[in-house]
Chains A and B, each alone.
Chain A
Amino acid sequence: MASAASSLRTPLIEGAKTPAQVTRDICAVLDRKPTWVWWTGFLCACAALVVGAAAVTYQIAVGIGTWGLNNTVGWAFDITNFVFWIGIGHAGTLISAILFLLRQPWRTSVNRSAEAMTIFAVICAGLFPVIHMGRPWLAYWMIPYPNTRGSLWINFRSPLIWDFFAILTYFTISLLFWYLGMVPDLATIRDRTPPGLRRRFLGILSLGWDGSARTWLHYETVYKMLAGLATPLVVSVHTIVSWDFATSVIPGWHTTILPPYFVAGAIFSGMAMVLTLTIVARKAMGLEQYITRQHIDKMCKVALATGCMLGLAYVTEFFTALYSGNQYEQFVFLNRALGPLSWSYWIMVVCNVGISQLLWFRKVRTNPAAVFVIAILINVGMWFERFVIIVTSLHRDYLPSNWASYVPTSIEVATLVGSFGLFFTCFFLFCRFVPVIAISEVKGVLSVGRKRTVFPLTIAETPAESAQAVLEEKGVPV
């Protein structure tokens, strides 16, 4: 791994950690009993999940009619949530794959949780295409399999089919990538756990990792390769999702700008979600020294960049519509901004393009509280972006006689809540049972071996002590 131990910049990991400490600090979370914070969070998440499960069960039992859709607006919350969650996933892959290939050492502290987030997000996303079907029990018809219908295949021209495969691939790769990255850490935990069932189990999971140079070599190679495989997915998946709309004939959907627009949006929202999660996690789990303001700052920069791209996309859309001279296109965009659903449009613009501009200021970027709020708002904005694209385009399309409005039902809202419930339930469990920070990778970016660290590695045991050591070294009387 590339060492970031340059004497010029401040170390990524504060408090002059020793590898041993790193292990101890990060595993501490797993060792100690769950805190009340965790419990409350977890139970809330579960509650939300239960609500969602109930809603979905009811909807499948009674019919899609329990959603607020109609003959004009055939998709709304369902596909909005789908696109939203897929988008969330992207940051994870970006951080873990692209930043890895770009040798960005700061990724090491966040990539684990980001990847976890990706997987959970994709799980949430994958739910919606299934439950939004009129006959979900026939979802397997999406799979091309030989049948007695002589043989009747699927429609390979349909973007939904591309979607289906794209997401499947995405999920598989992400899962592998995540798991592979975890193997060394699992081994670490294995070694720390007393013999018993748990150790046995961890032994299996860590694939008999022995930490030999050879193993490391193989590991690095595979990891690089997977990173290489995952990288195009960051772009491809959301591009394909955007084709669901871009290949249609509906004004507001049928635009070539959608793929880049969607990808940028995805990373934007993803980063926001990573920020939301990590800011909470570092506080709750006392990992401030691992996920430092530096990390937050860097992620904010990525968010800012993508946010600006998004802003550009919004403007471009309007321009192309007006420039096209196509009355339907022009109408759709004016209708978004000034029509009956304009409030959703303005929420989107303000949250995504407006609020995110605050990230230009270092003060804001380095203030976790502020960033947290901004990140939340960005997530809201990004959800509404998808809502705007889907609903406002559909509800007033070509024939004025078709124009209809859309109002969500309680079932739909409950389903959305439920998807968050699912996501956070998974994430809380993840925090409990898996090291939230890639121990092995963080060790790689420690400032170990730098001259300035004079004190013997053995002195400092706890973060407090090491901090004290630093102070002493600076000659501050204690």
Chain B
Amino acid sequence: MAGRDSNRYWKNLEERNAGEESSARVENEFPDSLEFGAEPIARREFLKAAGFAFAGAVLTGCQRAPVEKAIPYLVKPEEIIPGRPYFYASTCGGCSAGCGLLVKNRDGRPIKLEGNPEHPLSRGGLCAVGQASILGLYDSRRILHPLREGKEATWEQVDREITDKLEQIRREGGAVRVLSDSISSPTLLAALEAFLERFPNARHIVYDPLSGSAILDAYEQTHGVRLLPRFRFDRAEVVVSLDADFLGTWISPVEYTAGSRAARSLEGNPPRFSYHAQFESRLSLTGSKADQRIRIAPQQLGLVATHLARELASKAGVPIENEGIQEPPVPARVLQEIAQRLWEARGRSLVVCGSQDIATQVLCNFLNHLLDSYGSTIDLEFPSNQRRGKDRELQSLLKELQERKIAALFIAGVNPVYDLPEGGQLASLLRQVSLVVSLDGKRNETTELAPYVCPNPHSLESWGDQEPVNGIVSLMQPCIQPLGNTRALLESLAAWMGTPKPAYDILRENWQARIFPRQTREISFQAFWDHAVHDGFVELDKTPPVAVRTFAMGSVHPILSAKILAEDEFALVLYPKVGILDGRHADNPWLQELPDPITKVTWDNYACLSPAAATALGVGDGDVVRLVPGNDPTGLELPVVVQPGQHDQVVAVALGYGSKATERFAGMGPQWWERKPTVGETGRVGVSAAPLLRFADGALQYGQAPVKLQPAGKHLALAATQTHHRIEVPHHLATPGTERRPVIQETSLQAYLEDVSSGKQWEEMEHEDLWPPDHLYTGRRWAMVIDLNACTGCSACVIACQAENNVPVVGKDEVRRRRAMHWLRLDRYYAGDGADVEVAHQPMLCQHCENAPCETVCPVLATVHSAEGLSQQIYNRCVGTRYCANNCPYKVRRFNWFDYPHEDRLENMALNPDVTVRSRGVMEKCSFCVQRIQEAKIEAKRNGAPLRDGDAQTACQQSCPARAIVFGDMNDPNSLVSQLLRSPRRYHVLEELNVRPSIAYLRLVRHRVEETEEEHHG
């Protein structure tokens, strides 16, 4: 279908559908020559007639394929050439991190989002959420018209009523509140300001469902300014993270991943290879990459910080009171050793803290202060705007609501009814507010309630800007005609202020007035603007630095003790998943089916328990437990996932599930009589953990509340894409010494520095072949290198691949049956015993073997080797014997067990027209993005230039924030890929089979704790 679409040009949906009705002309291909007289037809005649008619039918029947219409433009837009992709620089609206985008457009519609390599923050990376956010654009269920009392209305009507009410409120001096998540857009902030100052009592209240409020409050105390600093992981050589999942979900993961990647590479001599210690209660993505991971209960975080502070303070000779401090929850030696490392790397070290406890955050600042991180690894002058939420204000707002002091409430970009613990009562409170306007483009709990919904268009449909970090403003530009009758927030505000204006003008004016003066490079605004639109961002060199007070020692107070939980109590930890985050994209099937990088479970949230805790409770994977918070008897019922490496007194539950938006998945997946639904009994995916959140000491708390667990005696089959988690095979099934499989090869930094080839598990030998080589590779030979060191398992590549290659979503039941379709999967292996595990992530995709086992066995030559080393899979030739999949040692081939639905016409617009949509019964697999290779080759030919290294990039490579994937021509000795192939860390998975994969992996290198001990003792 993608194919046909790309053969037919259309200007809008109507036209596109118009082409659909297939012809009437096939009918009258029959001759009308079977006329008889009036008298009845004798049997023989009839038979004869039938016979002839049949003959005619045979001749004409298989005559013509149905007619297809080709509808060209009447007047073609200047820049568009049908079938030719265009890239527009823009900014990602997936979350508040503000990563740079390159939007790939085909025939007037975006089909793929890619990272903008020039962007100073994301540096070309784009996370899974960003990649998937394009589906939101083509979401046929989103709100495409203004709503009034839930019914479709016109903008005039809605605007009139709103402005009238506002006018009245203004006269009465009623309180107007705008509730939103962190908005970093200077233009929008200016507009809001202008809008609000027209009212005597108006405030803009910001909260983030994944709040960082405590950090900002802490800086207000220690440095006098409420700000979120910019963490420079790229400058840090020793990173200590106190429960901050900065590689996965914390504030700006792509930026931080790129940063820590830069600071953790083995190139250069001696290599600049940062050390990373993680204190955490559950196993997070960041923890899985840490050199040293210390399991602590969430409530012990402050105590650990205190002890670190003590250690460092004594080194720095700064006195802090330390009477009656409880013993550290971890061996003092560990803390001393970490403190030592931090101290040695003074000025090049960084401590980050994900806690929502302000005192702990203050201590964290104190640590950084002692380590002179400010100005080096922490930038306070040009702070970040990625989190601006102030939970205190949110609380006060709720109070006001309860006291019915609010006259008008505008809600933008957040879903408080779902996000907040008080969601339930909030619903009733909102009904009492005279004017509630939701500016959200998605149907959710809040838009349900709001009498007025003025839908915001998707970020790919409208003009806008963001300033994620002071001095770096990145621009959003529309890449498609708005699909509905939506209106940008900017325009709505303008309309209600009585000065309706298109967003473009508002933006431009604001830039001229406020942004342009903040830079010196360009003289003319037009040039500046064009430059910005072209690049997608501007760096403003004349941005005034924020003036902060010097560190206020007075604010530092050691935390004396950590709450001790009773035997049967568990500390609750509510965490965001990499794909789902706070649930704002819970309606996105790609993200729902994206396996969690650690648990590998899809389509559900669950209660993570440590193996010890699970055995104590007598539950295993999938057994349902009831979480009962201390205060109220009602609890949540969740299936258990046994999570090695988690603290024994912690139960971790993911946020963002069980929202109304997931009701759409009721009919998800192939329909057949043994199928099971994708949604649970509630009709939703997972269970909402928001009721377990709570406000405490001025911040939204994601943990600590002690809960009791009761097995509910039920079992719920979880849909996991990996069910054997360890790199070792079960011991009773292996001959001694062969438990561990040489799939992941790793070594310690120490060993690596002594011998670069350390950790090698299989001696590569040059095989003598009896036969002359099958493949000569006279021209190019495509190859890929994946650096296990850089790979964090963030799963951006998985979604990038899915978006690029039209990989279908199959639904929970199919995933449970181990039929997930992702071409690229991330294998996650645990090593070591259940308590403390070492984790390795391994992207696994078709290895494009030179001696491909799949190719020899296909009876119909549907999979064959290309002259450039690709193992090609030809869908239209495949008959589906699945022999190739059986014979693939890596099991990376994916079979279309059913016809996966593509009924949603709007959603189909996200399909890549350069990739066939596979039908039922054919095999598919990674193609090394051959369509991109073709495009690059043909373009190079067209421009008469040779194909340069990096011209052809695979989707996974393009999106990887850590630059872990490198693809290129290994016949070109200078290409990056062949340089990496010469690396001593290079190894092939299952080398011993002599299938000769085109994908090589670079060995994993870690700082090892035991060796550091040796360092200290001698």
Contact = CB atoms under 8 A, between A and B. Distances in A.
Establish whether A and B are touching in the complex (CB under 8 Å). yes
Contact of B897 (A65, A129, A396, A403): A65
B226 to A, nearest CB: 46
A142 interface: yes
B374 to A, nearest CB: 43
B842 to A, nearest CB: 8
A223 interface: no
Interface in B688-734: 722-724, 726-730, 732-734
Contact of A75 (B886, B893, B993): B886
Contact of A334 (B728, B734, B890, B923): B734
B741 A400 contact: yes
A64 B880 CA distance: 9
Given A250-B886, A338-B733, A400-B743, A71 B818 contact: yes
A399 interface: yes
B879 A138 contact: yes
B886 A65 contact: no
B870 interface: no
Interface string B113-139: 000000000000000000000000000
Nearest to B864: A155
Contacts of B634: none
A405 B819 CA distance: 12
Given A65-B819, A70-B818, A74-B895, A160 B881 contact: yes
A68 interface: yes
Interface string A387-403: 00000001011111111
Interface stretch (B12-20, B54-62, B346-354, B855-863): B855-863
Contacts of B504: none
B755 to A, nearest CB: 24
B170 interface: no
A19 B982 CA distance: 85
A397 to B, nearest CB: 7
A249 B257 CA distance: 38
A139 B921 CA distance: 12
B829 interface: yes
A150 to B, nearest CB: 12
B733 A404 contact: no
Interface string A58-79: 0000111110111110110000
B726 A134 contact: no
A68 B879 CA distance: 19
A207 B238 CA distance: 94
Contact of A72 (B818, B829, B877, B923): B818
B883 interface: yes
Contact of B735 (A74, A334, A398, A405): A334
Contacts of A65: 670, 672, 814, 819, 897-898
Contacts of B733: 331, 334-335, 338-339
Given A154-B861, A334-B735, A398 B990 contact: yes
A64 B817 CA distance: 13
Interface residues of B, number: 64
A322 interface: yes
B524 to A, nearest CB: 57
B896 A66 contact: no
Contacts of B429: none
Interface string B877-892: 1111111011101110
A56 to B, nearest CB: 14
A331 B729 contact: yes
B885 A330 contact: no
B5 interface: no
B326 interface: no
A141 interface: yes
Contacts of A158: 856-859, 883
Nearest to A334: B733
A128 to B, nearest CB: 11
B818 A248 contact: no
Contact of B993 (A139, A249, A339): A249
Interface centre among A155, A244, A331, A400 (most CB of B within 10 A): A400
B819 A62 contact: no
B861 A63 contact: no
Given A70-B819, A139-B879, A327-B734, A249 B859 contact: no
A142 B890 CA distance: 26
B879 to A, nearest CB: 5
Interface string B836-878: 0000001010000000010011111100000000000000011
B941 interface: no
Contacts of A142: 859-860, 879
A422 B131 CA distance: 52
A154 B859 contact: yes
A403 B880 CA distance: 22
B722 A248 contact: no
B767 to A, nearest CB: 15
Contact of B895 (A68, A134, A398, A401): A134
Interface string B886-929: 11011101111111000000000000000000001111000000
B878 A153 contact: no
Interface centre among B732, B859, B885, B995 (most CB of A within 10 A): B859
Nearest to A248: B887
A63 B920 contact: yes
Given A74-B885, A410-B674, A134 B844 contact: no
B860 A154 contact: yes
Contact of A70 (B726, B817, B861): B817
Contacts of B895: 64, 71, 74, 134
A248 B888 CA distance: 9
A192 B315 CA distance: 115
A247 B724 CA distance: 27
A90 interface: no
A102 to B, nearest CB: 37
A281 interface: no
B896 A134 contact: yes
Contacts of A250: 886-887, 889
Given A70-B819, A327-B734, A394 B827 contact: no
Interface in B545-566: none
B738 interface: yes
Interface in B797-840: 814, 817-820, 825, 827-829
A409 B676 CA distance: 13
A62 B887 contact: no
23 contacts: A62-B670, A63-B672, A63-B921, A65-B814, A65-B898, A71-B885, A133-B879, A133-B921, A134-B923, A135-B922, A142-B860, A154-B859, A155-B857, A155-B860, A161-B859, A331-B734, A394-B886, A397-B889, A401-B828, A401-B829, A401-B842, A403-B724, A404-B723
Q: Which 8 pairs from chain A and chain B are nearest by CB?
A: A134-B880, A134-B921, A65-B897, A327-B738, A74-B882, A401-B827, A70-B818, A402-B891
Interface of B: 670, 672, 674, 722-724, 726-730, 732-735, 738, 741, 743, 814, 817-820, 825, 827-829, 842, 844, 853, 856-861, 877-883, 885-887, 889-891, 893-899, 920-923, 989-990, 993, 995
Interface of A: 62-66, 68-72, 74-75, 129, 132-135, 138-139, 141-142, 152-155, 157-161, 164, 244, 247-250, 322, 327, 330-331, 334-335, 338-339, 394, 396-405, 409-411
